[in-house]
Amino acid sequence: MSSKPIYLDCQATTPLDERVLQAMLPYFREYFGNPASSSHQYGWEAEAGVKQGRQLLAEAINAEPEEIVFTSGATEANNLAIKGVAEALFQKGRHLITVQTEHNAVLDPCQYLESLGFEVTYLPVNPDGTIDLAELERAFRPDTILVSVMAANNEIGVLQPLQEIGAICKERGVFFHTDAAQAIAKITLDVRELNIDLMSLTAHKIYGPKGIGALYVRRRNPRVRLAAQLHGGGHERGMRSGTLYTPQIVGFGKAVELALSEMEAEAKRLIGLRERLRSQLSVLEEIYINGHPQQRLPGNLNISVGGVDGAALLLGLQPVVALSSGAACSSAKAAPSHVLKALGRSEKLASASVRFGIGRFNTEEEIDKVAAQAIATIQSLRGSFKF
Residue 128 backbone dihedrals phi, psi, to 5 degrees: -90, 5
Which residues make beta-bridge pairs with 187?
none
Catalytic member of 10, 110, 169, 329: 329
d(CA 146, CA 120): 10
Rounded alpha-carbon distances, angstroms, from residue 82 to 163, 255, 321: 20, 26, 36
Residue 18 backbone dihedrals phi, psi, to 5 degrees: -55, -35
- Residue 174 DSSP label: -
Burial 88-115 (b: 16+ CB within 10 A, else e): bbbeebbbbbbbebbbebbbebbeebee
Based on the residue annotation, tell me whether 329 is a catalytic residue of this protein.
yes
Q: Are 358 and 299 in contact (CB under 8 A)?
A: yes
d(CA 63, CA 190): 8
User: Within 10 A of 167 (CB to CB), how many other CB atoms are there?
Assistant: 15
Local structure of 318: helix, strand or coil: coil
Name the amino acid, one letter, at 171.
E
Which residues, 6 or more positions from 219, have their beta carbon under 8 angstroms from its beta carbon?
64, 66, 67
d(CA 89, CA 357): 38
Nearest to 225 by CA among 180, 190, 173: 173
Residue 184 backbone dihedrals phi, psi, to 5 degrees: -55, 130
Question: Nearest 5 degrees, angle CA 237-CA 242-CA 245?
Answer: 105
Active site residues: 329
